[in-house]
Structures are given as structure tokens and as C-alpha cells.
Chain A
Amino acid sequence: MDDVDKCLEKLKRCELLSQATIKDICTRVIDVLLDESNVCEVDAPVTVVGDVHGQFYDLLEIFQIGGECPDTRYLFLGDYVDRGHFNLETITLLTCLKLRWPDRITLLRGNHESRQITQVYGFYKEVVQKYGSADVWSYFCEVFDYLPLSAIIAGKIFCVHGGLSPAVLSVDQIKLIDRFREPPSEGVFADLLWSDPSDRDGFNLSQRNAGHLFGKDTVERFLHVNGLSTVLRAHQLCMEGYQIHFDGLLATVWSAPNYCYRCGNVASICEIDASLNREFNVFSAAPEDRREVPSGQAKQVPDYFL
């Protein structure tokens, strides 16, 4: 694993790896991910991280305040790429960490870990700009196909990127999904990655045209049937870094501060201790002096759109 350590050192300096190295790492990490269930079992204590969206320096900030991996056990809820300026560095670092410490970091799939979405929301374009071709993008898209869909912490806390599905009452139903593919636009797979909580009871159509809106009653039923205590998810911007819904039954954790470099929000990571107590550690965007843009970095957004 010496070579992975060297890669990690480079990446923490925000340096890109060669295309051949990335191909090798992606192939090896797929082998690791193949063994993981659609519903990963994760031990506590663990720190849960929400959307990162290519905000590399804020990811480094997360490791500063939450502790480095492998010292701290991490569970990431997806949306590693798109919208940010350093999608490549972010996903490459996380992939290398998974390869190096497979038992100390769990990476779930978010709605942005898809070919369709990354072609529109920035990751594809960044790869072509930085590598001259789309090959690296297709390597990572293949890795995305192997990312698990959900996790349960200590048999009690259900974790997923988006939310619940009207077609799923038991967690066992999630295990039946064939996840090794591009997410379809409808069905359980789509719901887990796209759904949002709502004030209205039951399941309703979402304005996003993907996933569903789910109400408090659906969460109560899901937790009861599966013997769980709470749901932890990401997927929606929280100005305060996190949000508690449904009298504590569900929480949203959001880990991209000053989202899209313009929202001015704070972010958080959710630290869960061995007794399953939940603590949201709130943080702001990394200070300006820690945001050196490496030379030769192409601008994400072309001039004519500024």
C-alpha cells in the first residue's frame, strides 16, 4: 500500500495523479466495494459527513476538525463531485482513502454519482479540462456504480443520501436491489438517492421529478418495522449546517460550507459516539489563506458566464 500512501501525500497537496494511476486505483477500489452490501453495517463511534461537492479545501477542513482518517472512522453520504472547483481532487482523495483504509471509511452513493448528472453539473467538464479526455470520468463513473446505497450504524441509525421510498418498508428490500449500474430515473434506487422529507404525510411526488417527498408517518413506520431509532441523510442545503426534522426522528447533515462559493452557509459533520449520542460539529468555509489555487488550474466556469 506504499504506492497509495504516496498518492495520498500528493493529493493532500492538491496535486493530481496521472491518468494511469487513477485507472489502477479505480480498478482496485472496485474490488473492495464489490464485497460491500447495499446496506453497510457500520460501527460506532463514527463521524458522518454530508454533501461535499468538490469543495476540496473544505474537505481538508473536515479532516482537521473531525480527525484524520484512519484515526476517526468516517461515513460519507455521497455527492462528492459536481458544482465545486476541485471535484477531481476530492473524489480521488476519498477513493484512495477507501483503498488504503477500507474498514475505516464508508462511501455511499449520492444522486450526483451518476453519468447523467455529472455530465451537466461540472465533473465531466472538469475532467476533460484537466486531463484532456473523458477517460478518467468514465473510470470514476464505474467506481460510482459499485458504491453502496445505505448504511446502518450500530444497528440503530439508518443512513442514506436522499431518503425513503414508498416501495420499501423493510431494509431487506434494499438488499435485493441490483446497484451495479447507472441509477434509473424511477423506483427504489432513485428514491434512496433523491427523496426529500416533507411536512405532508405519506409519499408524494417531488418537484425534482426524481424520488418522492416523504412525511413523518412514513419515517415512523420505517423505523418501527426495522427496529431503528433515527434516519440520517444529506442531499439538501442547510444554512445552519444541519437540520432536525420530525421531532428528532430524522436529521439532515450538510458538509459544504458557503455552498457553490456563494451561499454563505455554515456546514457540519455529525459525530456519533459509542453510545450513539449525536453531536453536530458546525464549521465555516476554510480560511482564504488555506485555499491556494495550484498553478495551471483551469477556471471551472468560462468567462462568458461570469
Chain B
Amino acid sequence: MSEDANSNSLIALNILRLVESAYHIHDPEIEDSPISVSQLPPAGASEDARIYRYLGRFQIFATSSDLPFEPNTVIEITSDRSVFDAFDLLVHHNVLSMPIRDPQSGAYLGLIDMVDLVHLAMTSFDQAKLTDLASLTGSADSIFVGSLADAANISSFNPFVAVPNGVALLAVMRLLGERGLRRICVTDNDGQVTGIISQSWLVRWLNIHKLAPGADLMNATVADLALVSGPDLVVSVPDNALAADAFKAMVDNGVTSCAIVDSNDGTLVTVVSVRDLKVLRGSGTEETDHQQSFSFTALFAPIMDFVSASRMQNLVTFPAVVGVRPTATLGTVIAKFASTGLHRVFVVDDKRMPVGVISLGDVIRTIPTRSQ
């Protein structure tokens, strides 16, 4: 590594260390040493952009003009509630995760997210004897067992990590990229979580500010950037599989979505993701007791039925698959993420065979490493 690259890495590492040692980071390996915002090192010339929670929303104050974003109201849950309540709230508010806090002390115990719930459901499914299907009551208690505090981050996908208001934008991207985080909590001076910066939010910002921090990067193809993971890394099930097979494949491979391919020719038919677990909640109205309309047995449905039920809950029709070619540019992929709100796109060849996946994390990881 050249000396420049070396010193850049060192700066990055130091920024990361300082960010990590800020308020309320629950990482037992790092001592809690509260550090005030003013002690953070000044950002480099190209790293001026800082994210502030201001007037109820995230705004980036940078040298380029910024655009105010939609406010990001944080839904929280206390640890005395049930895991099912958490599931219900996530679906109802259409968010993927929320912080759990202790009702007495107000301290944050962690994050609970949809991936955790998939892991919990799959664990229960493993334990259920298939011959005993008829005896399955299908009640929520049989899948979402245990306390909320235990379920927090059982998938280890979303540890609770917090940064202070005014953290550098690139530092957040590095943090997300290098630690494999999907979201990060922002706290105010009182330690209250005032917002959650997610990968989706960052990508929407990148879509608007394509000229910074890596302009020519936007024209590079995803193949050039080695963003395309090979076909053997695409997690998939055939279209005649059961829903549980797909969710199990996600859990076993540590991913949040699973491709569904034609059982005859292997072409991409559609995609199922952790978000589709909402189908288990049933389509009751606000007045319905959701616990009663909850259905575990839906996991034994054919995967195409499961996906259909999920897609048809939305009155607006979307294409079965969001795919890009290996020749698509990074700018195009960012635009797709920004406009659809998806968390990954599949890469397909001209015969619609899946040849790779690009996640939000892949994109965000690319920016800081290449922007110098």
C-alpha cells in the first residue's frame, strides 16, 4: 500500500474509533469513554459533509447544496412487550427495525428487526415435527418465543450502534461498510435516539448528490467495480419449493432475500425477502386482533403462493423482478435503489439467469474506498 493510502486508512480507522467511542455504543470490547462532538477530528477536505438531526429531520450540511429529506420518526418498543408485539409494530409502521429500551431505566438494550424475526421463526420451524403439522395451533406464541430482550439482534444483522449528532457523512458510510451495519442510531445530548440513519437513506442522498463524493465512479459499470457476486453466491430456491425453504435459505446463508428461479430453466422468476414475512400477520383490519389472524401454517405454503399473497396486499402492481445487467453503471443502480426503496437488486444476463446480487451495503462500501 502506498504511503498516502496508508495514512488515509489510518485516518479512517481513527475516525471510526472515535465515532465508536461516542455515546451509547453497546460494544463490550470498547470501553465507554464519552467524547464530546468538538473533540472529533476535523474532517478532510473531501469529507466536509456532516449529518445533523435538525428540525426533526436529517440534513447534510456540506459544501454542495443539500436537500431536506422526509422526517424519520423513530418507533421504539419497551422490553416488557412481547416479540409478537414487536412484529406487529414493525409491519404496521412498515419499518424494518426499532430500538428496544428498558421501561425503567430508559436505556437502550438493542435493536429488533425483521431479520431477527425470520431467524426466530425458522428456529421454531426446525423444531416442529413435520408429522405434527395438524397439531400446530398456528399461534404466535409457538414461533415468537422468548423475551424481546433475548430476541434483540438474534440474527446479529443489526447491532445497536449509535453516533452523535453532527457525525461526518463519510465516517458513517465507512462504519456501515466496514462493520457490515445496515442502520445506525443518532442520539442527542441526552442520549435519546432521535433518528435512525439507514442504508436506504444514504443511497437516496447519493442519488441526489451523484457528483460527490465520487463523480466518475458513477459511470463505472457494476462489473468493473466487482460489485457483482458470482452466480454460485446467489441464494435461490426453485419455484416449486415451500415458503419455509426460502426463509431457511436466507437464514442459513446470512442474507435477507432469496431468488426464486424457474425449476425447469433456472431463470429468475421473482424474489422473496424478509419483509414478505408480513404475510404471516394476515390481512386483518385495524380492529382485528392480529394475534388471532396470525398464521404459522402459511410458511408451509408453496413459495409462489406466499409471494403472491404478499404482492397482492399492495394495490399497486410492481414488476416480478428488479434486475440489472452487469453492464449497468453504479449511477443507474443507485437510482434504482433510490426510486424503488429496495435493499438489493439481482444481476441477470440477457437470458434472465441470475448471475449476482448487489446490496445497498455493497454500494455504500464502494463509495469511501474509491472516493479518494
Name A residues whose Cβ lies closer than 8 Å to a Cβ of B.
82-83, 111-112, 116-117, 119-122, 125, 185, 194, 205-210, 237, 259-260, 263, 301-302, 304-306
B289-322 near A? 1/0 per residue, CB < 8 Å: 0000001011011001101110110011111111
A207 to chain B: which residues have CB within 8 Å?
A: 339-341
A208 CA / B279 CA spacing, docked (Å) = 20
Is A305 within 8 A of B315, CB to CB?
A: no
The 8 listed contacts between A and B (C-beta, < 8 Å) are A122-B308, A185-B319, A237-B315, A301-B309, A304-B297, A304-B300, A305-B283, A305-B305
A122 CA / B308 CA spacing, docked (Å) = 7
With A122-B312, A260-B315 known, 20 other A-B pairs at CB within 8 A are A83-B312, A111-B317, A112-B317, A116-B319, A116-B321, A117-B317, A120-B320, A121-B311, A122-B308, A125-B308, A194-B319, A209-B319, A210-B319, A237-B315, A237-B316, A304-B295, A305-B279, A305-B301, A305-B309, A306-B283
* Distance to closest chain B CB from A160 (angstroms): 16
Is B304 within 8 A of A120, CB to CB?
A: yes
A305 CA / B297 CA spacing, docked (Å) = 9
Is B301 within 8 A of A263, CB to CB?
A: no
Select B270's contact among A83, A120, A122, A185, beta carbons within 8 Å.
A120
* Distance to closest chain B CB from A80 (angstroms): 14
Q: How many residues of B contact A (CB 8 A)?
A: 33
A207 CA / B319 CA spacing, docked (Å) = 11
The residue of chain B having its C-beta at the shortest distance from the C-beta of A185 within the complex is B319
Select A302's contact among B305, B317, B319, beta carbons within 8 Å.
B305
Q: Which of B273-296 contact A (CB under 8 A)?
A: 279, 282-283, 295
Is A304 within 8 A of B301, CB to CB?
A: yes
A194 CA / B319 CA spacing, docked (Å) = 9
Interface centre among A208, A209, A302, A305 (most CB of B within 10 A): A305
Q: Interface of chain A, helix or strand or loop or mixed? A: loop
Interface centre among B283, B320, B338, B342 (most CB of A within 10 A): B320
Instruction: Verify if B238 is at the interface (C-beta below 8 Å from A).
Output: no
A119 CA / B267 CA spacing, docked (Å) = 13
A57 CA / B319 CA spacing, docked (Å) = 27
Instruction: Verify if B53 is at the interface (C-beta below 8 Å from A).
Output: no
Q: Which of B246-272 contact A (CB under 8 A)?
A: 269-270
Instruction: Verify if B99 is at the interface (C-beta below 8 Å from A).
Output: no
B279 to chain A: which residues have CB within 8 Å?
A: 305
The residue of chain A having its C-beta at the shortest distance from the C-beta of B348 within the complex is A185
Select A304's contact among B298, B304, B316, beta carbons within 8 Å.
B298
* Distance to closest chain A CB from B14 (angstroms): 38
B43 to chain A: which residues have CB within 8 Å?
A: none
A237 CA / B315 CA spacing, docked (Å) = 8
A2 CA / B335 CA spacing, docked (Å) = 55
A112 to chain B: which residues have CB within 8 Å?
A: 317
B320 to chain A: which residues have CB within 8 Å?
A: 116-117, 119-120
A237 to chain B: which residues have CB within 8 Å?
A: 315-316
Interface centre among A259, A302, A304 (most CB of B within 10 A): A304
* Distance to closest chain B CB from A131 (angstroms): 17
B40-66 near A? 1/0 per residue, CB < 8 Å: 000000000000000000000000000
A298 CA / B298 CA spacing, docked (Å) = 18
Is A208 within 8 A of B304, CB to CB?
A: no
Select B322's contact among A83, A205, A209, A301, beta carbons within 8 Å.
A209
Instruction: Verify if B323 is at the interface (C-beta below 8 Å from A).
Output: yes
A301 CA / B340 CA spacing, docked (Å) = 27
* Distance to closest chain B CB from A90 (angstroms): 17
A122 CA / B311 CA spacing, docked (Å) = 10
The 4 tightest CB contacts between A and B, nearest first, are A205-B339, A305-B309, A209-B340, A116-B320
* Distance to closest chain A CB from B354 (angstroms): 14
B282 to chain A: which residues have CB within 8 Å?
A: 305-306
Is B304 within 8 A of A119, CB to CB?
A: yes
Instruction: Verify if B336 is at the interface (C-beta below 8 Å from A).
Output: yes
B307 to chain A: which residues have CB within 8 Å?
A: 120
A136 CA / B71 CA spacing, docked (Å) = 49
A111 CA / B279 CA spacing, docked (Å) = 24
Contact flag A121-B339 (CB < 8 Å), given A112-B317, A305-B298: no
* Distance to closest chain A CB from B84 (angstroms): 18
* Distance to closest chain B CB from A21 (angstroms): 27
A208 CA / B319 CA spacing, docked (Å) = 7
A305 CA / B307 CA spacing, docked (Å) = 11
Is A209 within 8 A of B318, CB to CB?
A: yes
A116 CA / B112 CA spacing, docked (Å) = 34
